[in-house]
Amino acid sequence: MSMTANNFPSMNIEIEKPRGIETDELVLNMGPQHPSTHGVLRVILKTDGEIINSAAPVIGYLHRCFEKHAENVTWVQVLPYTDRMDYIASMNNNLGYAIGLERMMGLEVNERAQYLRVIVAELNRIASHLLFLGTYGLDTGAFTPFLYTFRDREKILDLFEEISGARLLYNYIWVGGVAFDSPDGWLDRVLAFCDYFIPKIKEYNDLLTLNKIFIERTANVGVIPADLAINYALSGPCLRASGVNYDLRKNDPYCIYDRFDFDVCIGKGDHGAIGDSWDRCWVRVNEMYESLKIIRQAVEKIPDGDAKSTVPKNVKVPKGEYYMRTESPRGELGYYLISDGGKNPVRVKVRSPA
């Protein structure tokens, strides 16, 4: 699918100043230690009442020299570092790197491992969206939904602990397969979670997403029209919330996503303008439904066989370069891999989600 800004009309939302109220411009430091940024960045804001006149971001607080670390370890040893790039969605980080390396090496991954990869990646997507939904509720003044979303996220972490031994930083998806096959009864417990979770999404909508106060605080706020989203290279839920029907699982399928029936969720401006803060929340809520659909299909279709990786820890990748991209919970996650034929990467460049 080709995307250009010219394909989408621009939208302008005018914000009127309150009449009869005199305001002065105020400079505020938002972060790096702030309840809604969690040490990620600092933003220097110039505000005039409720209106933000300018925002100057100061980034780099989470820079951890990933590329340099990757040059000094073997190809397989890079995998644990990918866990830590976005520790809320480690499964998806592992997946993109593993597929890229497998394609460079010409490796074929067996069917059972492919299905297990999809199941854990989609469970991880739900867990990531639950964290977003709960913390976003906190930022808008709703505390109770935070408790509900984290309650249900714990159930996913329990499933991950069963299959990988870890609740975060799983290092589960390996080159050539997965670290462990699913334990006895694990797939049944995954289906039981799907049955449990569907009515819980309705609870989130009743408590938060369709709550009148939440709508008032998010509708027509932070509108990003489609042309601006494309020009700024947004991806994932933020891009789709602006009305752009683009999901790598559909538009450039990887793994075995082309075997599953699911819909791409886009913003429609149901309570405000297309691409506003409410749409960005609503898209993620609907994506949890779609992830459940994918998980159910994968559990029903998964074949028998060995899922464990048999690739040795020290491998030599043929000389060349490859770019692999996947649809992580936060957007497009890309790995640009360069090999000189040795056991260590020449470069592992990451295109993180925007």
Q: Are 6 and 247 in contact (CB under 8 A)?
A: no
Give the residue from 258, 278, 301 where a domain finishes.
301
Decide if 322 is inside a domain: no
Clarify whether residues 112 and 58 are in a common domain: no
Clarify whether residues 204 and 260 are in a common domain: yes
Supply the pLDDT for residue 315: 86
CA distance 165 to 156: 13
- For the entire predicted model, the pTM comes to 0.89
Q: Which helix (H) or strand (E) holds 43?
A: strand 42-48
Q: Which helix (H) or strand (E) holds 241?
A: helix 236-241
Query: Per-residue pLDDT for 13 more than 60?
Result: no
Decide if 267 is inside a domain: yes
Decide if 259 is inside a domain: yes
Give the residue from 301, 324, 345 where a domain finishes.
301
265-316 tens-digit pLDDT = 999 999 999 999 999 999 999 999 999 999 999 999 999 998 887 887 778 8
Clarify whether residues 164 and 53 are in a common domain: no
Clarify whether residues 126 and 236 are in a common domain: yes
Decide if 318 is inside a domain: no
Query: Per-residue pLDDT for 118 more than 80?
Result: yes
Please give the average per-residue pLDDT across 326-342, as a whole number.
97
**Positive or negative torsion for Cα 296, 297, 301, 302:** negative
- Look up tokens 């149901």; give the residue: 270
Supply the pLDDT for residue 294: 98
What integer best gives the mean pLDDT of the chain? Answer: 91
The tally of domains found in the chain comes to: 2
Clarify whether residues 126 and 186 are in a common domain: yes
Residue 269 carries which side chain, given as an amino acid letter? G
Clarify whether residues 149 and 247 are in a common domain: yes
Supply the pLDDT for residue 256: 96
Decide if 46 is inside a domain: yes
Clarify whether residues 207 and 290 are in a common domain: yes
CA distance 44 to 30: 6
Decide if 190 is inside a domain: yes
Decide if 296 is inside a domain: yes
Clarify whether residues 254 and 128 are in a common domain: yes
Please provide the DSSP assignment of 120-169 as one string.
HHHHHHHHHHHHHHHHHHHHTT--HHHHHHHHHHHHHHHHHHHHHS-SSS
Clarify whether residues 153 and 274 are in a common domain: yes
Question: Which residue has better confidence, 21 or 61?
Answer: 61
Decide if 68 is inside a domain: no
* SS3 category, 106: coil
Q: Name the residue range of residue 210's domain.
A: 93-98+108-301
Clarify whether residues 145 and 294 are in a common domain: yes
Q: Are 164 and 156 in contact (CB under 8 A)?
A: no
CATH number of the domain at 140, please.
1.10.645.10
Clarify whether residues 140 and 288 are in a common domain: yes
Query: Per-residue pLDDT for 10 more than 90?
Result: no
Supply the pLDDT for residue 5: 52
Residue 72 region by backbone torsions, left for phi larger than 0, else alpha for psi between -120 and 50, else beta = alpha
Q: What percent of the chain has pLDDT over 90?
A: 80
31-82 tens-digit pLDDT = 887 776 777 889 999 998 878 899 999 988 888 899 999 999 999 999 999 9
